[in-house]
């Protein structure tokens, strides 16, 4: 497989803040030239601390925000949202799942309506088929048909995140941007959602951009890893390259800071404590 | 490890119940635990397992709707289950201090952080204004805040999450507590900051000979800090063991499932999961234990 689904060329994004009556306008460089290429069916993990530009990158890839300079190519086609409305075909290709499943579902919308809304907006699926499609998706994510008419508050965090994933998949996208999809979830539920993502990737040959700060999750799920630090990609390579031989100091700090839960490191820590 | 004869905190058969619209909810169900001086006890469990509620019950911070019953609730051998509120105020914040999960939300946005620490010192110590100021600066230094003197007049929103958490820790250790309860102290923070905060807590704990209860859902945090671990699930204690034997040889099936769900322990291309325990499938943990 060598089909490139996503490519960015020297993407930058500046935000200007302030500029009111009393303060001078300041420019924040949220992204400072990001280049990446992602093949179909692969997972790119973007790692970094809060404020490093991970989510800005996600917004640009999802075509919510326009880059200040640089080019974004989705499925080989250049995208420019400032030039005018995009075709619904283009919009269909990329979908996003947000971090907090408690905030990203409308509490007054039934699950069935949540799932059918993308179809209603897109309009390419006939009205008569929409309900069926939503039911099918519900099953795929491991929920039951009777959940169709329930409200989000009746579900646990893990189930809600699965619903959010299902909503993103309703239009058969090629690229799914996952912005910290499991960091709000408990360990036991996290495993289920990660498994679901892996199953879906196999079934639909989806491409993932997986944003996370949890290195153990990244190590498990990613094919390629990009480490971001203050708007720059300080490290970009395959998972094994990055994990076995980190080049940048920040990556090393990040690895050193990740808590280790294996027996050897516990023994080492306890020995150090006695001494 | 030296263990004093009387444990710092002793809880026997603690139960906390809430009346909800759908009937009686036992958030904590017959939990016993004890912490000694110089010991780090980790309580680990997922959300809703009653780990925070049990500690809030000890601190007397639960709303009046909660029904707390316990066979014994002792701090340094003294019964604390029926304290009047003024007696409790003398204890809480001085001998027992707590650090909460959301550092930015648990500080008062209307007052400077210097003022908020000063408040604790004013309540619990006999220091005069000058001494309190010096003590606050000393505390800021201890928790590693840069430019401690300038920080006195900073408001919470002017600081990052990690800095706010340091202020919270400074406030908690202001009166040299004997027991520090840390409720998910690093959950809202980045890994690099998490490392700093955990190191800080463990150093302070060793330096001041405090007992510490670390409430967390992160097995990594447990592995990095704890001496002894209690695993909780649905309000009940599943397993209690020292940290090494818990990771090396977990006894309880829930603990085993939890450990195997860690992504770093993954062997195949799918993770083993803990059975989906939702409101519909009321699984009985003992049946599988």
- The superfamily (CATH) of domain A40-68+85-274 is P-loop containing nucleotide triphosphate hydrolases (3.40.50.300)
DSSP state of B92: B
Do residues B179 and B94 lie in contact, with contact meaning Cβ atoms separated by under 8 Å?
Answer: no
Tell me, what's the pLDDT at A210? 94
> Which neighbouring-strand residues pair with B31?
B14
- Asked if ipTM goes beyond 0.90, one says no
Residues of A in contact with B257 (CB under 8 A): 188
d(CA B108, CA A103): 24
Average pLDDT, chain B: 85
What six digits make up the tokens of B147?
A: 């430019």
Answer yes or no: do B264 and A262 touch at CB < 8 A: yes
pLDDT digits (tens, 9 = 90+) for A168-204: 999 999 999 999 888 878 887 888 889 899 999 999 9
CA A174, chain centre distance (Å)? 13
Q: Please say if the pLDDT value at position A16 is more than 80.
A: yes
Helix/strand/coil (H, E, C) string of A59-103?
HHHCCCCCCCEEEEEECCEEECHHHCCCCHHHHHHEEEECCCCCC
A216 and B CB contact within 8 Å: yes
Q: For residue B217, list chain A residues with Cβ-Cβ distance below 8 A.
A: 186-187
CB contact under 8 A, A187 and B279: no
A236: pLDDT strictly greater than 90: yes
User: What separation in angstroms does the CA of B184 have from each of A164, B46, B162, B189, B241?
Assistant: 26, 11, 13, 10, 20
**CA B120/CA B125 separation, integer angstroms:** 8
Interchain CB distance below 8 Å, B271 and A195: yes
Contacts across the A-B interface (CB distance below 8 Å): 117
Kindly state the DSSP code that residue B28 receives in the 8-state scheme.
E
Nearest CB among A155, A191, A273 relative to B271 is that of: A191
Predicted confidence (pLDDT) per residue in B7-62, tens digit: 899 999 999 998 888 888 888 999 999 999 889 999 998 877 888 888 888 888 88
Is any Cβ of chain B less than 8 angstroms from the Cβ of A266?
A: yes
Euclidean distance between the first and final Cα of chain B, in Å?
Answer: 31
Name the residue among A65, A62, A99, A88 with its Cα closest to residue A182.
A99
Query: A111-142: per-residue pLDDT in tens?
Result: 999 999 999 998 888 989 999 999 999 998 88
Count how many residues are written for chain B.
289
pLDDT-above-70 percentage for chain B: 91
Q: Which one of B161, B259, B271 makes the best mutation probe of the A interface by having the most chain A beta carbons within 10 Å?
A: B271
Give per-residue pLDDT as tens, B239-260: 999 999 999 888 888 888 888 8
Alpha-carbon distance B53 to B221, whole Å? 20
Tokens read off for A162: 């699965």
Taking alpha carbons only, the member of B27, B2, B29 closest to residue B13 is B29
Residue B198 sits at the chain A interface (C-beta within 8 Å): yes
Contact residues on chain B for A213, CB-CB shorter than 8 A: 190-191
Residue B272: CB atoms within 10 A of its CB come to 17
- State how far residue B178 is from chain A, nearest Cα, in angstroms: 20
pLDDT in tens, B146-191: 888 988 999 998 888 888 888 999 999 998 899 999 998 887 778 8
Contacts of residue A198 in chain B, CB cutoff 8 Å?
A: 269-270
CB contact set of B269 (below 8 Å; sequence gap of 6+): A198
Measured between alpha carbons, how far is residue A139 from residues A117, A145, A153, B194 in Å?
18, 7, 19, 38
Mean pLDDT of B186-198: 83
Does residue A99 contact residue A128 with C-beta atoms inside 8 Å? no
Q: Is A187 exposed, middle or buried (0-12, 13-18, 19+ CB in 10 A)?
A: buried
Supply the DSSP string of A126-190, one letter for each residue: -HHHHHHHHHHHHHHTT--GGGGG--GGGS-HHHHHHHHHHHHHTT--SEEEEESTTTTS-HHHH
**Is A3 within 8 Å of A175 (Cβ atoms)?**
no
Contact (CB, 8 A) for A55 and A179: yes
Q: Report the pLDDT value the prediction gives residue A275, as an integer from 0 to 100.
A: 66
Probe site for chain A from B220, B229, B232, B241 (most A CB atoms < 10 A):
B220
User: Between these two residues, B263 and A130, which has the higher pLDDT value?
Assistant: A130
Does A195 lie at the interface with B, CB-CB under 8 angstroms? yes
pLDDT of residue B121: 93
In this complex, which of A189, A216, A256 lies closest to B264 when CB atoms are compared?
Answer: A216
The answer to whether the Cβ–Cβ distance between A266 and B192 falls below 8 Å is: no
| A254·B224 Cβ contact <8 A | no
Q: pLDDT category, B278, cuts 50, 70, 90?
A: very low
User: Residues of B with CB below 8 A from A269's CB?
Assistant: 223-224
Residue in B190, B247, B270 nearest the CB of A266? B247
Distance CA B240, CA B183 (A): 19
User: What confidence category does residue A62 fall into, taking pLDDT thresholds of 50, 70 and 90?
Assistant: very high
The four Cα atoms B238, B244, B247, B252 give a dihedral, to 10 degrees, of: -30
């Amino acid at each position: 497989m060598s089909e490139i689904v996503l490519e960015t060329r020297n993407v930058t994004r500046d935000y200007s803040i302030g500029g009111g009556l009393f303060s001078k306008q300041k420019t924040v460089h949220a992204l400072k030239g990001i280049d990446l290429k992602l093949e179909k069916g692969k997972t790119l993990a973007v790692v970094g601390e809060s404020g490093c530009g991970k989510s800005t990158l996600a917004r640009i890839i999802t075509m919510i925000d326009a880059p200040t300079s640089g080019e974004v190519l989705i499925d080989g086609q250049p995208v420019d949202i400032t030039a005018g409305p995009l075709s619904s075909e283009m919009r269909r290709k990329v979908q996003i799942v947000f971090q907090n499943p408690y905030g990203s579902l409308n509490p007054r919308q039934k699950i069935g309506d949540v799932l059918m809304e993308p179809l209603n907006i897109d309009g390419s699926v006939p009205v008569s088929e929409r309900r069926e499609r939503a039911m099918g998706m519900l099953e795929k994510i491991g929920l039951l048909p009777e959940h169709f008419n329930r409200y989000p508050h009746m579900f646990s965090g893990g189930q809600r995140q699965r619903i959010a994933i299902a909503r993103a998949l309703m239009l058969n996208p090629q690229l799914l941007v996952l912005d910290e999809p499991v960091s709000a979830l408990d360990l036991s539920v996290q495993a289920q959602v990660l498994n679901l993502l892996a199953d879906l990737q196999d079934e639909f040959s989806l491409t993932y951009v997986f944003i996370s700060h949890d290195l153990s999750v990244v190590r498990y799920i990613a094919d390629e890893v990009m480490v971001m630090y203050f708007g720059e990609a300080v490290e970009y390579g395959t998972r094994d390259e990055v994990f076995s031989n980190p080049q940048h100091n920040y990556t090393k700090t990040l690895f050193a800071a990740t808590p280790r839960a294996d027996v050897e490191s516990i023994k080492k820590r306890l020995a150090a404590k006695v001494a | 490890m030296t263990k004093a004869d009387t444990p710092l905190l002793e809880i026997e058969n603690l139960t906390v119940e809430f009346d909800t619209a759908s009937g009686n909810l036992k958030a904590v169900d017959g939990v016993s635990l004890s912490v000694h001086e110089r010991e780090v006890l980790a309580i680990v469990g997922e959300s809703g397992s009653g780990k925070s509620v049990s500690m809030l019950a000890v601190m007397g911070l639960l709303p009046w709707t909660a029904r707390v019953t316990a066979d014994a609730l002792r701090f340094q051998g003294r019964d604390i289950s029926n304290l009047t509120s003024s007696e409790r105020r003398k204890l809480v914040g001085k001998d027992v201090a707590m650090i909460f999960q959301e550092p930015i939300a648990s500080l008062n946005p209307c007052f400077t952080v210097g003022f908020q620490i000063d408040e604790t010192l004013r309540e619990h110590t006999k220091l005069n204004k000058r001494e309190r100021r010096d003590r606050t600066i000393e505390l800021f230094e201890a928790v590693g805040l840069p430019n401690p003197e300038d920080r006195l007049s900073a408001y919470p929103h002017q600081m990052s999450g990690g800095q706010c958490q340091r202020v919270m820790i400074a406030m908690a250790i202001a009166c040299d507590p004997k027991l520090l309860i840390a409720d998910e102290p690093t959950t809202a923070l980045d890994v690099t900051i998490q490392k700093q905060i955990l190191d800080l807590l463990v150093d302070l704990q060793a330096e001041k000979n405090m007992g510490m209860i670390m409430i967390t859902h992160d097995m990594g945090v447990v592995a990095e800090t704890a001496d002894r671990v209690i695993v909780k699930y649905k309000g009940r204690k599943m397993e209690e063991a020292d940290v090494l034997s818990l990771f090396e040889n977990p006894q309880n099936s829930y603990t085993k499932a939890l450990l195997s769900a860690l992504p770093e322990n993954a062997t195949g291309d799918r993770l083993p999961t803990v059975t989906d325990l939702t409101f519909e499938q009321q699984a009985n943990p003992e049946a599988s234990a």
